[in-house]
Structure 1
């Protein structure tokens, strides 16, 4: 145990004691997170506030020391100026080499005590050395680790005692130095420990939020993959069935054509098997409140929109649906994504805007499909939602997957609006 204590002491106060370790400026994002709102120019200046305070403290100590420790004569004045410079240097040095500044403050403490013992006019030098030593130890603890407080306190007390023993003034050396420095170092260590714990909590919350967002995104992508699996599997099944039946539709089918149809069917069946093997595991066992009850049921399309609106109306939401343009069949992936976007937007209205009215607008245009879901202001406070709160993330993922664009923002009347456009390639008939 003693060997471990010695090793820790050597690592903390001896190894790399004078390594360059500058104090970084205050992080602007931390000031914003703490709720501090300042103009940009003032915020840039506040980033260097700790450096300014420490340098100002060092200058103040120099002026006070040089102005109050001199005595009559040129030698005394010169000694006071030199000692003032020596006693203020460790304070400024804590900005760049904190542990080295501590050892320099110990040397200043010893020098001040020796001058006070040897010179008749140097009775105040030991006091200023002790003050500098305490200030430096406090700054070092605030900059480094709390455990350095005990180690530096022991070193200072032991060194002060050893120097004071020949003069027989051990009590005078130990009293103010031990008690005052002990109180200040305990306070500084507690502040440093609190800051470290707070920083750890903030980092943990940030990582947790990122992990939650990433997990929600992965879950939404898994849901999309499951739905796309169903869409692709349906079309591949049709291809396989058509390829198997095609040779029987033609009399005296050439062997080459029959072989081609057989190859098409085999490839379609192999693709179906691969799809089920890779994507079948992402099927959800817990559909949400608006999903189909049977997991094997066909994926919903915009033709099922009235059923969805009936469900949300039964849940207490007043909703109006408006369809503009000539309704036409769209690719199944577009139909499914549009249905899910409307479903999620109405679900968010039920959760976050109780008592509000909603409006669903579906626009069939030449270049694609436009969606707009808007709700008014809630008439009462919403209950806390148990969900992850990332429904908008899933909607954006669906729209981006299809190459579309989406906006989601509050309205001027206190409601919320979700607008999306999903491009759809025009068919030959539409282009004509």
Structure 2
């Protein structure tokens, strides 16, 4: 009883597998078989990588190289068919020309309707099988001589279809083609001859084409995954950098709000007989400043909660660095082995704290990159106080030894650019002609901002 039940279950499983295979065969080869699926040209990046030595205009036309190759192959098939059937009368010549066009149309059709091209090529192959088997047929002399060309063209069509669609079509087309060939051979009562060896050869060719197609598809998916991963990593790094900037600028904003609160609280005591309305206004200003400070601390707590070790490398109570503390940064970098020179041009003047902090971080990140990626090189830091803003330039020379792999996502330039854009400035980062690297940024500073910075420091 158990053996019978197990046998019935096995048969049902096999029946389901067979139905599934037939369903896939129907979906792949019969449903929308002649649907219009044009083959796109090659991507410009691939053409530029393979044929970089060609002129740009010629590289643009090389995108259609696969289409031209298929067209050339179809023309060769057509001429070969005409040559193999030459030397007959006018009616025979017309038939040969028509059949040659039918065979040669198969490869060309793969560029637009790949599955339909298979059926068209299969029809031409079946006609050649009938002609080859029917020795007494009047068409044997017309089509029989070109049977080898027809078979080779049909195999080429199946390979092109596999490369254009999906790998499993290789097995499906192979089964349909050689099952039909075996049936026709049996119905015509002919010796199968080399049918088995031809089937094995075609199977090897189609499986190889399917492997190439599967490899290309896997490679495309890997590239897409790497692209998405890189974009996600850049987005995450950008968010982390913005959170870091928000934590740093909190101290800057909190300082100004504290000054406002203290000045508003002390203002009524500096004037004798302060009107009640003025005292109320100052009290309101102080209350709003204190409320703003409370909200800033609450927001900063939310930002810090996502990164509890944000200040693991430094004291969270320490003041934010400015350009006045740049010498200590340079000394630290020199002690790490980087020979760095600092040049300040223009008349140093007080700048907004946000500008000073961003300029300091840009120099810090630029020198860190030089330490990591250009060991043994010399670096130069230029701070330019110019009319309307601040210029920062960090340039290092060629490394004197091989750089060791360094941890991290490698998005330091992204963070620097985010800081500069936040302040409305511009930044460039690129390799120099001598093999080094240069970071140049300009941060605009208006006159109002400069006056505010001066007033804040005096307060």
Maintained 8 Å contact 1:378/1:415 = yes
Aligned to 2:96: 80
Q: 2: distance between equivalents of 1:429 and 1:206?
A: 45
Maintained 8 Å contact 1:354/1:382 = yes
Identify which of 239, 262, 280 aligns with 1:218: 239
The answer to whether residue 80 in structure 2 is matched with residue 64 in structure 1 is yes
Q: 2: distance between equivalents of 1:78 and 1:87?
A: 14
The answer to whether residue 374 in structure 2 is matched with residue 353 in structure 1 is yes
Q: 1: distance between equivalents of 2:80 and 2:424?
A: 71
Q: 1: distance between equivalents of 2:313 and 2:204?
A: 68
Aligned to 2:395: 374
Aligned to 1:205: 226
**Aligned 1:130-169 pairs, distance under 5 A:** 130-169=151-190
Which one is further off, 14-23 or 322-331? 322-331
Aligned to 2:280: 259
The answer to whether residue 363 in structure 2 is matched with residue 342 in structure 1 is yes
Maintained 8 Å contact 1:359/1:374 = yes
Q: 2: distance between equivalents of 1:286 and 1:377?
A: 35
Shift of 1:201: 1.8
Aligned to 1:391: 412
Q: 2: distance between equivalents of 1:266 and 1:428?
A: 25
Maintained 8 Å contact 1:411/1:417 = yes
**Aligned 1:44-193 pairs, distance under 5 A:** 44-70=60-86, 72-116=88-132, 117=134, 118-119=137-138, 120-121=140-141, 122-169=143-190, 171-172=192-193, 174-193=195-214
Aligned to 1:278: 299
Question: SS state of the match for residue 50, structure 1?
Answer: helix
Q: 1: distance between equivalents of 2:222 and 2:23?
A: 30
Q: 2: distance between equivalents of 1:99 and 1:153?
A: 13
Identify which of 334, 338, 343 aligns with 1:322: 343
Q: Which runs of 5+ in 1 are unaligned?
A: none
Question: SS state of the match for residue 102, structure 1?
Answer: helix
Maintained 8 Å contact 1:322/1:361 = yes
Q: 1:285 to 1:181 in 2, by over 3 A?
A: same
Which one is further off, 249-258 or 326-335? 249-258
Shift of 1:175: 2.7
Maintained 8 Å contact 2:340/2:378 = yes
Q: 1: distance between equivalents of 2:382 and 2:71?
A: 64
Which one is further off, 89-98 or 63-72? 63-72
Maintained 8 Å contact 1:157/1:177 = no
Shift of 1:87: 1.2
Q: 1:410 to 1:180 in 2, by over 3 A?
A: closer
Cα deviation 1:55-77 (Å, max 9, x = unaligned): 11111111111221356433433
Question: SS state of the match for residue 172, structure 1?
Answer: coil
Shift of 1:222: 1.7
The answer to whether residue 246 in structure 2 is matched with residue 246 in structure 1 is no
Cα deviation 1:316-354 (Å, max 9, x = unaligned): 222232333332221100110111111111111211222
Q: 2: distance between equivalents of 1:373 and 1:91?
A: 59
Shift of 1:412: 4.2
Maintained 8 Å contact 2:352/2:452 = no
Q: 2: distance between equivalents of 1:37 and 1:192?
A: 28
The answer to whether residue 23 in structure 2 is matched with residue 7 in structure 1 is yes
Shift of 1:380: 2.0
CA RMSD in angstroms comes to 2.4
Q: 1:374 to 1:81 in 2, by over 3 A?
A: closer
Q: 1: distance between equivalents of 2:416 and 2:440?
A: 10
Maintained 8 Å contact 1:160/1:173 = no
Which one is further off, 7-16 or 419-428? 419-428
Q: Which runs of 5+ in 2 are unaligned?
A: 1-15, 454-459
Q: 1: distance between equivalents of 2:337 and 2:149?
A: 77
Shift of 1:371: 2.0
Q: 1:316 to 1:5 in 2, by over 3 A?
A: same
Shift of 1:173: 6.8
Question: SS state of the match for residue 363, structure 1?
Answer: strand
